[in-house]
Structure 1
Amino acid sequence: MSTTSIPDPPSWWYLRGWCILQGLKGFESSTLTEKDVPRKDMRGKWVIITGANNGIGFEAAKTFAAWGANIIMACREPPEWETHPSEAVEHCLDLAKSAGHSSIIEWWPINMTVLASVDEFAERWLATGRALDILCNNAGMAPYNSDETMTKDGFQIVHQVNFLSHTLLTFRILESLARSAEPRIVCTTSNLHFFGKMEFEIENLPVPKQKGPYERNKLYYQIWITEMNRRLVSSEKYRHITINGIHPGYVNSGIWNFSGTNQGTWQETIFRLLAGYLTITTEQGSFAIVNAATSAEFGPNPEVQGRGEPGAKGGGNYINRIWKAVPMPFVDDAGTRLRIWKGLPRS
């Protein structure tokens, strides 16, 4: 199958150097506290978090539970080395009860490697008739040991789990989000999007090749977030929905436990060695999700969306932990955004 690559501009070495510099900013490891991400009253709010039984998703769910939110933990049946969703639910219920809340917290199965499973989850949610306040598109898998694996839907597995299934879920439950007063969508992207290359398959369908799918789909994801935001604010019905992409930091979480054993590729060995020196905890990483989901700074921009607090940044941002950052220049190119958009699966 033929491909079309977007060539680098004449200042190739400058752009590469700039990308490396921006990517390295993702290793920022200062310790955040409640002062940086203050407690919010989330009683009565409904939150969906994909991948909520492990890593930063679980830590974010714990915070939302302690703050009084109702939570749907959207998770697969996990491997044995991860916390089972049923145990995660019980833990969050205990936190909510200890804080004096009578929250509803449930595990609803979803398999991001199967688009039909995403559809089934969305239908189940829509059948409740509830308005959704926060959607956290967080589930993900690591880049190695899976480069050549394809899903039964015909997509490279990392690309589908980390990107395509989340865009499908977002589209399917958009009506529910629209019924909330100030809904937010938080998408877990990565600083590694600075190392992604733009390549498109025939008919403009973006499918990463066998090498580098993780960096590439994180780049596609951030581009999609920017275009999605542009379309939301251009619509009277959806203008009040705020969507942002977050890099949680270099987190020592289960996503890097590719095989579930102490054996693995040389990449896995390197990540494990670095983890003891450069990473932040899953709790620290979860602040990125919580901040984007609740802070006034990344809430709706009143000048654009007709509601929100003065000075709020609104949507379409790339957030490095809790700070707005500059994304790859591709996100500002309307033609590139359109090509990414047109290639997405829809319900």
Structure 2
Amino acid sequence: MAALKFAGMDDTDSEDELPPGWEERSKKDGWVYYASHDGMKTQWEHPKTRKKKRCAGDLPYGWEQETDEKGQMIYVDHINKRTIYFDPRQAFTVEDMVLKPKRYDGNTAALEILQGRDFSDKVVLITGGNSGIGLETARSFTLHGAHVILACRNLSRASKAASLIQQEWHKARVEAMMCDLASLRSVREFTESYKARKLPLHILVCNAAVCTRPWSLTEDGLESTFQICHLGHFLLIQGLEDVLRRSAPARVVVVTSESHRFTDLLDSCAKVDLALLSPQKKEYWSILAYNRAKLCNILFSNELHRRLSPHGVTANAVHPGNMMYTSIHRSWWLMTFLFSLARPFTKSMVRGRGHHVYCAVAPELEGLGGMYFNNCFRCLLGKLSERWLQRSSQAIYIILQ
């Protein structure tokens, strides 16, 4: 039996694994061939399965195909600064690919969702993209070819963030534009500047937010947490609505929070108390103000989808993750301390950005919207009925107009 084993059987159980002395290579057109170093020969068929394979799609973003001084094909990974001799697409050959929808969850990273996809013909706008999840989301899209615009209140920090991405990938198309959500004038100026450039807009991620912020009024006389987290984005989308329609299919991703469940903003009749949206100092509680704004995000997203989906623009709301260590808690030392304690037990920003990206690009969500996502799964909004939700969404939309 031992003699038979060594004479006629391989040491591995995998039929795809090459026998000793064989090497898998690929041609410029993607076809895979096999070279035998012992027999000094090449062939198109796999030496064990006798099947032919072809590399699927284009090279991953950041890779280039070149020829070395000996005339041998090499592959250069500009992002990770390395050179290899085998085609990186060989991991995704046509024969290997199975057309099954991938399942994503709370641990899925954005780069996993974007794997193998080319967004070189897409324009992505991200508010608050100079740090935290916004920066990670911008980086993910940029490394896959998208033209990314960081809309931020601090132009210097945003430009620095754009430079960091460009240092990582010399062909990155990323830029910064001034947009202060705490100033309705600044938001209007941004939308006019954007439209003047005649750029399309395929993906808009409303990411910027503040939390645990002391009571203060903006230059527009509104409570700052509500204006920055919600009203500024409302005006931004209103100003860019025509651009989104012309760019269809387009998607709007509104970053909200699970804390939307803990608020007193709306009653059972879907009546909105405007005093709660911009409370006076003596009635102000920063956490509750944040929760109210996050509920407004969801209601606005639902109504926006209802109004724009006939024009090819969809909108969804997404929760990025519980107590993720970003700069959102910087306004209060106690919250910073609590976030620091929780940091080892919460997901990283690399994982958190996956939720944003999933809602922005997932093929299975094409044409679908008006939903709320957590961990890449659709979630119900507490015990709210669909009728209550629809009436509330329309109410908050009409009032803010």
Question: What secondary structure is seen at the aligned counterpart in 2 of 1:340?
Answer: helix
Question: What secondary structure is seen at the aligned counterpart in 2 of 1:297?
Answer: helix
Going from structure 1 to structure 2, the CA distance change for 1:126 and 1:197 (only over 3 Å counts) comes to same
What does residue 94 of structure 1 align with?
167
Does residue 1:321 correspond to 2:389, yes or no? no
CA distance in 2, matches of 1:343, 1:330: 21
**Which of 299, 303, 316 lines up with 1:223 in the alignment?**
299
Question: Which residues in structure 2 correspond to 1:295-310 (within 5 Å)?
Answer: 295-300=362-367
Q: Deviations over 1:159-183 (max 9, x none)?
A: 1101000011001001111111311
Question: What secondary structure is seen at the aligned counterpart in 1 of 2:277?
Answer: coil
Q: Deviations over 1:136-190 (max 9, x none)?
A: 1111111x142x2111212111111010000110010011111113111111001
Instruction: Give the partner amino acid of 2:179.
Output: I
CA distance in 1, matches of 2:247, 2:343: 39
Deviation at 1:110, TM superposition (A): 1.1
Question: What secondary structure is seen at the aligned counterpart in 2 of 1:53?
Answer: coil
What does residue 330 of structure 2 align with?
257
Identity %: 28
CA contact (8 A) 2:110 2:358 kept: no
Going from structure 1 to structure 2, the CA distance change for 1:86 and 1:231 (only over 3 Å counts) comes to same
CA contact (8 A) 2:113 2:357 kept: no
Instruction: Give the partner amino acid of 1:254.
Output: S
CA distance in 1, matches of 2:113, 2:198: 35
Instruction: Tell me: higher relative CO, structure 1 or 2? Use CA pairs within 8 A at least 6 residues apart.
Output: 1
Q: Deviations over 1:224-252 (max 9, x none)?
A: 1111111223x4xx2x1011111011211
RMSD (Å), alpha carbons = 2.4
Q: Deviations over 1:252-286 (max 9, x none)?
A: 11112225xxxx24x44323322233x21111111
CA distance in 1, matches of 2:120, 2:109: 24
CA distance in 2, matches of 1:49, 1:227: 21
What does residue 125 of structure 1 align with?
194
CA distance in 1, matches of 2:377, 2:303: 21
What does residue 167 of structure 1 align with?
234
Deviation at 1:39, TM superposition (A): 4.2
Aligned residue-pair number: 285
CA contact (8 A) 1:194 1:215 kept: yes
CA distance in 2, matches of 1:75, 1:35: 27
What does residue 158 of structure 1 align with?
225
Does residue 1:176 correspond to 2:230, yes or no? no
Going from structure 1 to structure 2, the CA distance change for 1:149 and 1:199 (only over 3 Å counts) comes to farther
Going from structure 1 to structure 2, the CA distance change for 1:315 and 1:129 (only over 3 Å counts) comes to same
CA contact (8 A) 1:223 1:331 kept: no
Instruction: Give the partner amino acid of 1:104.
Output: R
CA contact (8 A) 1:50 1:138 kept: yes
Instruction: Give the partner amino acid of 2:316.
Output: N
CA distance in 2, matches of 1:39, 1:191: 31
CA distance in 2, matches of 1:225, 1:117: 22
What does residue 270 of structure 1 align with?
338
CA distance in 2, matches of 1:168, 1:202: 19
Going from structure 1 to structure 2, the CA distance change for 1:182 and 1:96 (only over 3 Å counts) comes to farther
Does residue 1:113 correspond to 2:182, yes or no? yes
Deviation at 1:35, TM superposition (A): 4.3
What does residue 126 of structure 2 align with?
49
Going from structure 1 to structure 2, the CA distance change for 1:122 and 1:206 (only over 3 Å counts) comes to farther
Does residue 1:139 correspond to 2:208, yes or no? yes
Which structure has the larger Rg over C-alpha atoms?
2
Q: Deviations over 1:18-70 (max 9, x none)?
A: xxxxxxxxxx9645475455342100211111000100000011111100011
TM-score (norm: length of structure 2): 0.66
CA contact (8 A) 2:110 2:357 kept: no
Instruction: Give the partner amino acid of 2:398.
Output: K
Q: Deviations over 1:292-344 (max 9, x none)?
A: 111112221xxxxxxxxxxxxx1111010312111244473233222211221
Instruction: Give the partner amino acid of 1:241.
Output: V
Question: Which residues in structure 2 correspond to 1:68-83 (within 5 Å)?
Answer: 68-77=145-154
